[in-house]
Amino acid sequence: MLVSDSLGVNANGHLTVSGCDTVALAEKYGTPLMVYSEDGIRRNCRKFVSSIEENYGGKGLALYASKAFSCLEMYRICKQEHMGVDVVSGGELYTALKAGFPAENIFFHGNNKTDEELHMALENGVGRLVVDNIEELRRIDALAAQMQLTAAIHLRIKPGIDAHTHNFIRTGQIDSKFGFALETGEALAAVKQALASDHITLTGLHCHIGSQIFDIAPFEHAAEVMLDFIADIKAQTGAVITELNLGGGFGIKYKDSDNPEDFTEYMKRVSVVVKEKCAEKDLDVPFIVIEPGRSVVGAECVTLYTVGSVKTIPQIRTYVSIDGGMTDNPRYILYQAEYEVLCANKADQPRDTVVTVAGKCCESGDLIQENAAIQSVEAGDIVAVLSTGAYNYSMASNYNRVPRPAVVMVCGETDRLIVRRESYEDLLRNDL
Ligand SMILES: *Cc1c(COP(=O)(O)O)cnc(C)c1O
């Protein structure tokens, strides 16, 4: 019934993360509280790193897509686990650098990087800039010339594959704000322009076909399309592209019913496709980059809340109001994301009631989950929402001037604070 190996139930009937009692953690740190399993995160990192070891003889790099959950401690863990990271803003880059993350293993994404961000990236020696559009290509070339250096770049390509959770479609041209389209010739034109730019080295191509993908087939397909393009580039320009970044998007378990393919299986199968395609097209196997975000942290966190009230509207529904909401988890109001919820202090009891878990914000849509099966709960109980590790804290806001929650990391039955709870004073930090 639990969505991650890091979760359990102890003799007191309390939910545990990495063996730590969540009810005790809620008491110690207050709620809302986000509890990450450090063991779980490290286990996931190692899985990605070793899959590159096993399938490509180490000729590759796994980047943690840090937008999923970005804070100093995450970058430190990634560094220790020999991961690279990708960042999509000056703020994420700043955090990574402050954490002492080696700049050469940082890749910089984004469809509208400012000159200031590009300057910051080049000045600090960021490993690769992943270029999204022609204007950006021109700006990087000019900036690099000014700074008397050469920028190593990847081009972001739209491979024309639209992957959904359970299937994928090939479209003539996907409607996306990111990257250069293959079909229209836009991508090849960008390659030629990059090759002709004096202060740019085109080392690789990048694609990212979606998120929370359960199937392997769309990834195999994307790899084929990208390698066909690399062969085309070689045929038409003579240029050899040596790095292939296949993006992220590997699905995780939110609900019990979710059944994502194991990541190691993905890597095994894609590597076969890559090697076969390279043999067919007479290419050397490129340096492979992958960018898992959600799959590194998503299932390794639970958010703990205290129930304030239980309001039953006969024949309609029961609202369980908690002390957080869309401010710490906007994924339900954004796209009706599904979660498992349970009562952390009654985790050994059957989930035999159905409720709507509501946040404390002044928005009727501020819900965490509708029609969720949970134990019978009352005021004072601790509600746990599972698999909140990705795109929760990083999307948190201060709507209604609700301070962001504290974040705790647990490891081998020890716990430590990694992000302090925001205070009311923090809320006034920039007010004049
Ligand atoms: C968001 C993103 C990722 C990570 O996606 P997940 O679904 O979290 O694995 C990787 N690469 C790029 C370019 C992204 O935008």
pLDDT at 174: 66
Name the pLDDT band for 39 (thresholds 50, 70, 90): very high
Tokens of 303: 């958010």
Pocket test for ligand 1, best of 155, 158, 208, 212 (most atoms within 8 A of CB): 208
For the Cβ of 291 lying below 6 angstroms from any atom of ligand 1, the answer is yes
Cα 263 to averaged position of ligand 1 atoms, centre (Å): 15
C-alpha pair distances (Å), 287 with each of 102, 106, 257? 19, 16, 35
Pocket lining: 211 vs ligand 1, CB cutoff 6 Å: yes
Identified catalytic residue from 278, 361, 362, 411 = 362
Task: Render pLDDT for 101-115 as a digit per residue (tens, 0 to 9).
Answer: 999 999 999 999 999
pLDDT attached to residue 423 = 98
Q: What is the 3-state secondary structure (H, E, C) of 372-384?
A: EEECCCCCCCEEE
Q: What are the chain's domains?
A: 7-37+298-421 (2.40.37.10), 38-297 (3.20.20.10)
The protein residue whose alpha carbon is closest to atom 10 in ligand 1 is 248
Chain segment 308-359, per-residue pLDDT in tens: 999 999 999 999 999 999 999 999 999 899 999 999 999 999 999 999 999 9
Average pLDDT, rounded, for the chain: 95
Question: Three-state DSSP class for 270?
Answer: helix
**Distance from Cα 79 to the centre of ligand 1, integer Å:** 19
Is 207 marked active-site?
Answer: no
| CB of 298 closer than 6 angstroms to any ligand 1 atom | no
165-210 per-position pLDDT tens digit: 555 555 545 677 888 999 899 999 999 999 999 999 999 999 998 8
Whether the CB of 295 sits within 6 Å of ligand 1: yes
Q: Give per-residue burial for 20-38: e unless 16+ CB within 10 Å, then b.
A: bbbbebbeebebbbbbbbb
